[in-house]
């Protein structure tokens, strides 16, 4: 079982940047996927970005591609989400997740992940 703890959320004006961090601890399966999801009030949880730990291949949802960057520091067991050019529609609770997926096509599917952090709030004002 892996434990995940997010940090780095906050309030920012549109056009600003934030960097989220997720520290992993405990047993992580071979070649896991690590991902960021978000959930706004009244909306379903959606995948934002994922990284396959074995080869650092990354995956992004269309709304954030080109603005967000996911990365992992293996020495620190930490996954980051650099968010630039933030928009009000990026406002949500952001969650870190880990899982062992059978195929990359599930990289942004929340039901495929079995370990979750508690979330960190991101609020973008116009």
Name, in order, each residue with C-beta under 8 angstroms of 61's C-beta and a sequence gap of 6 or more: 46, 47, 48, 49, 108
42 pLDDT band (50/70/90 cuts)?
very high
Residue 27 has pLDDT above 80, yes or no: no
Backbone angles phi, psi at 113, to 5 degrees: -105, 140
Residue 82: closest CA among 52, 90, 112, 74:
90
What pLDDT sits at residue 94? 98
Residue 12 has pLDDT above 90, yes or no: yes
Residue-by-residue DSSP string for 3-57: EEEEE--EEEETT--EEEEEEEEE---SS-EEEEEEE-TTS--EEEEEEETTTTE
Instruction: Please report which helix (H) or strand (E) contains residue 83, including its range.
Output: strand 78-83
Residue 78, both tokens = 């930490």
What pLDDT sits at residue 98? 95
Q: What is the mean pLDDT of residues 92-96?
A: 98
Residue 59 has pLDDT above 90, yes or no: yes
79 bridge partner residues: 22, 72
Residue 36, both tokens = 């960021």
What pLDDT sits at residue 96? 98
54 pLDDT band (50/70/90 cuts)?
confident
What pLDDT sits at residue 84? 98
Q: What is the mean pLDDT of residues 37-62?
A: 96
Q: Residue 106 carries which DSSP code?
A: G
């Amino acid at each position: 079982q892996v434990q995940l703890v997010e940090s780095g959320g906050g309030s920012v004006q549109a056009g600003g940047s934030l960097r989220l961090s997720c520290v992993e601890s405990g047993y992580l399966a071979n070649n896991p996927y690590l991902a960021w999801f978000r959930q706004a009030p009244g909306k379903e949880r959606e995948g934002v970005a994922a990284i396959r730990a074995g080869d650092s291949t990354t995956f992004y949802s269309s709304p954030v591609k080109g603005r967000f960057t996911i990365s992992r520091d293996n020495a620190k067991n930490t996954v980051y989400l650099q968010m630039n050019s933030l928009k009000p529609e990026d406002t949500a609770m952001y969650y870190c997740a880990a899982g062992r997926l059978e195929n990359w096509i599930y990289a942004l599917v929340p039901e495929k992940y079995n370990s979750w952090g508690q979330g960190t709030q991101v609020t973008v004002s116009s």
